[in-house]
Amino acid sequence: MSDDILKQFDPVFYPKSIAVVGASADAMKAGSYWVQTLVSAGYRGPIYPVGSRGGSIAGLEIYRNIRDIPGEVDYVIVAIPSRSVLDLLDDCAAKSVRAVQFFTAGFSELDTESGRSLEERMVEKARWGGFRIIGPNCIGVYCPEHRVSFLMGAIGEPGCVGFVSQSGGIAGKLATNGMARGIGYSKGVSCGNGIDLDASDFLEYLAADPQTRVIGAYLEGTRDGRRLFNTMREVSSVKPLVVWKGGRTEVGARAARSHTGSLASSPSVWSAVLKQAGAVEVHGLDELTDTLLLFQHAEHWQGARVGVIGGLADGGGGISVSAGDACTEIGLEVPPLSDQTDRALRELLGEVGSILGNPVDVSQAQFRGFPALFQAIETVAGDASIDFVLIQQDVDILLPMYSRAGLETINDFFIELRGRLGKPLVMVLPPGPVEQERLRLEQKLLAASIPVLSSVERAARAIFNVNTYFRRREIEAGQRDAA
Amino acid sequence: MMKTQKVLTEVESKELLAKDGIPVVEARLARNKKEAIAIAREIGFPVVLKIVSPDVVHKTDSGGVRLGLANATRVGRAYSEILSSVRQAYPGARIQGVSVQQMVPPGVEVIVGMSKDVQFGPVLMFGLGGILVEVLKDVSFRIAPVSKRDAGEMIREIKGYPVLDGYRGQEPASVTALEDLIVRVSEFVEKNPQIEELDLNPVFAYPDRAVAVDARIIL
């Protein structure tokens, strides 16, 4: 069954050749953009531009009709007006293509009878022609491993996170945010109106895909709520599924209808459906990427007890207090540390000017040197009463105090500690006036599998989301064993 | 085209529910004063009388409900009073009679409902009765079929859950009984797709059981 689905989606995510319909010698045309995008992504298979006026683009001959292409065509990207799509689909059938993606918009999202009936006829033609349709009204697939992209320019490193988005804009944001934040994608897809292959189909595929370990989704609605629910339930029983539902308010829902033609259910029903399916619900792009980033670095999570360390140099008091609040309010535990840890910290840091409970303010280490700082952090991190370590590092305070070389030493220590700690380490690097240095450290830590988030509140929320998923999985496994 | 709705009376609704093993306080229809007294004697005093009319939505507000009637005289008087005050509040309402049912001891009031969602079909709802549901919208939802675990989560998810869990020294209400009731309602609405809406309001939750005191089904 899972082999079948992998084979079925092979021409979608691993096409051997791609035709772009709507290309012209004019680089400003949408079709031309798609040709340039594939070239810039470094796609290795043949790219066949198709356009009624012929000519060439990016050194590639433009064919006047898809039937004129000499080789086989797996995948077709369509960027021509909706009035010409039915004829094109006849040509696609004659050419025995495997999948057709419509960048073209102007269908059911217009909420017109003609838009809906055109979609119905497209699906009929696809069934008859033996190919699948992606979209319409979408930007299609993203598969860094196969160098297929919907983004001009950088393509990003392949990884283990897959995503489905009913919006092309948000699909693009997920991909670019991922590149900036060290999230590696196995596959992504923008499925638009989803007249043939819809979000459920792609979720099923990602659940079966061996490259994908974590799945994110941006959904606005569904034509078959029951199927989506059942699919999400199956998917989240094998892989973490993080869902952002757009169109939660009346204003948002109205926009969603004209965006992807989705009908609106109440937000409370959606939340209930997601919970019931075992998916993790998030409420925006930031929370979605934060949570995917943490899942990427967490094969499994041991528990909800967090050790919070703030004030690596100075200004740790208030930060530690508020970090404790942020974690607790969201539903994480910040337990007291063991007596042994407490004694060790007193010896290392002294009693004055420190908070030696949990959260821990280690700022007094600034007067005692790196060995004391590192030993204090290691003592807290190693305490058996905590499951993971959350460290806030204020680059704007540390840089003038220790210089760049000192910052390197501190972060090399974190990377080395992460390697032998045996529990997850999450780093908070708040944005500030020394942004360039902060971004450099973020990349350094991400490369060493330390997830970096921009505030304790966001980190706490993402940690909580990951925990919620794994706890539920554990409970379910326990129930299965008991049954 | 407008879909024509049919509202089942409390007596009809409870009959359907009871047939499927959903615990309800049995309500029997009395078409006149004499029948009301006879049924009350059979059930045992004290009893409750409620107006039975497809046109009366707010039974309590229109004076259509009388509680704790301890003997035949009171039942007879209540019958006349209910009819006259409902006729005043809803002139021209089709009145079938009154329902007679046992006066059950007070329990924690909860509601269990079902409505249909455009995308997901039947959605079950759970909440505490009265002001908490009306003003604070403290309710939880799950789509059918609702498993026992889903039902447990629905019950514990509402903010007012401590009220069920033995607030101020009260004995806790049986979560198991409520779970069971929700699961049965879920099975019931799945089996009867013609039901568009269902309200068990209130359900009384006790330490050992839960029972629907009022019920309304819309086809």
Complex ipTM value = 0.86
Residue ranges of domains in chain A, CATH in brackets:
2-134 (3.40.50.720), 140-296 (3.40.50.261), 306-470 (3.40.50.261)
Smallest CA-to-CA distance from B151 within B132, B174, B133, B117 is with B174
Of A269, A275, A479, the CB nearest to B120: A269
Q: pLDDT tens, position by position, for chain A (483 residues)?
A: 567 999 999 999 999 999 999 999 987 888 899 999 999 999 999 999 999 999 999 999 999 999 999 999 999 999 998 889 999 999 999 999 999 999 988 888 888 888 889 999 999 999 999 999 999 999 999 999 999 999 988 899 999 999 999 999 999 999 999 999 999 999 999 999 999 999 999 999 999 999 999 999 999 988 899 999 999 999 999 999 999 999 766 666 666 666 655 555 678 889 999 999 999 999 999 999 999 999 998 877 778 899 998 877 666 667 778 888 999 999 999 999 999 998 888 888 876 656 668 888 887 777 778 888 899 999 999 999 999 899 999 999 889 888 999 999 999 999 999 999 888 899 999 998 999 999 999 999 999 999 999 999 999 999 999 999 998 888 887 777 776
* CA dist., res. A109 & res. A256, Å (int): 9
Q: Which residues in chain B have Cβ-Cβ distances shorter than 8 Å to A276?
A: 142-143, 150
Q: Which residues in chain A have Cβ-Cβ distances shorter than 8 Å to B121?
A: 225-226
Q: DSSP label at A109?
A: G
* CA dist., res. A90 & res. A177, Å (int): 38
What are the Cα distances from residue A238, in Å, to A470, A471, B47, B56, B61?
A: 11, 14, 54, 51, 52
Q: Which residues in chain B have Cβ-Cβ distances shorter than 8 Å to A226?
A: 120-121
Smallest CA-to-CA distance from A183 within A288, A282, A293 is with A293
The token duo for A254 is 């109205």
By the 10 Å C-beta count (0-12 exposed, 13-18 middle, 19+ buried), A58 is classed as middle
Any CB–CB contact under 8 A between B148 and chain A? no
Q: pLDDT tens, position by position, for chain B (219 residues)?
A: 455 678 898 999 999 999 999 999 999 999 999 999 999 999 999 999 999 988 887 788 888 899 999 999 999 999 999 999 999 888 888 889 999 999 999 899 999 999 998 889 999 999 988 666 667 778 899 999 999 999 999 999 998 898 888 877 778 999 999 999 999 999 999 999 999 999 998 999 999 999 999 999 999
**Are A436 and A444 spatial neighbours (Cβ–Cβ below 8 Å)?**
no
Helix (H) or strand (E) holding B203: strand B197-205
* CA dist., res. B110 & res. B213, Å (int): 10
DSSP lists the bridge partners of residue A308 as: A390
Smallest CA-to-CA distance from B189 within B8, B2, B16, B3 is with B16
Maximum alpha-carbon separation in chain A: 81
Which pLDDT value is given to residue B99?
93
* Ramachandran class of A446: left when φ > 0, alpha when ψ lies in -120 to 50, beta otherwise: alpha
Name, in order, each residue with C-beta under 8 angstroms of A41's C-beta and a sequence gap of 6 or more: A147, A148, A149, A151, A155
Which pLDDT value is given to residue A473?
86
Helices (H), B20-106: 33-43, 72-89
Closest approach of A77 to chain B, Cα-based (Å): 30
Strands A306-310 and A75-78: unpaired
**Are A82 and A136 spatial neighbours (Cβ–Cβ below 8 Å)?**
yes
* CA dist., res. B46 & res. B35, Å (int): 16
Cβ pair A276:B117 closer than 8 A: no
Q: Which residues in chain A have Cβ-Cβ distances shorter than 8 Å to B143?
A: 225, 229, 269, 272-273, 276
Any CB–CB contact under 8 A between A268 and chain B? yes
What are the Cα distances from residue B43, in Å, to A23, B25, B104?
A: 82, 11, 12
For tokens 């045309």, the residue is A29
Q: Give the start-to-end residue ranges of the domains of chain B.
A: 26-102, 108-218
Domain B108-218 is found in CATH 1.20.120.160: no
**Are A451 and A465 spatial neighbours (Cβ–Cβ below 8 Å)?**
no
Which pLDDT value is given to residue B135?
74
**Are A442 and A403 spatial neighbours (Cβ–Cβ below 8 Å)?**
no
Any CB–CB contact under 8 A between B117 and chain A? yes
CATH of domain B26-102: 3.30.1490.20
DSSP lists the bridge partners of residue B112 as: B126, B200
Name, in order, each residue with C-beta under 8 angstroms of A462's C-beta and a sequence gap of 6 or more: A287, A290, A291, A293, A294, A453
Name, in order, each residue with C-beta under 8 angstroms of A303's C-beta and a sequence gap of 6 or more: A387, A388, A467
Cβ pair A272:B149 closer than 8 A: no
Interface probe for B, chosen from A273, A473, A475, A476 (most Cβ of B below 10 Å), is A273
Alpha carbon of residue A91 to chain centroid:
36
* CA dist., res. A128 & res. A126, Å (int): 5
Which pLDDT value is given to residue A41?
95
Which pLDDT value is given to residue B1?
42
Cβ pair B140:A272 closer than 8 A: yes
Question: Which chain A residue lies closest to B150 (C-alpha atoms)?
Answer: A276
Cβ pair A269:B140 closer than 8 A: no
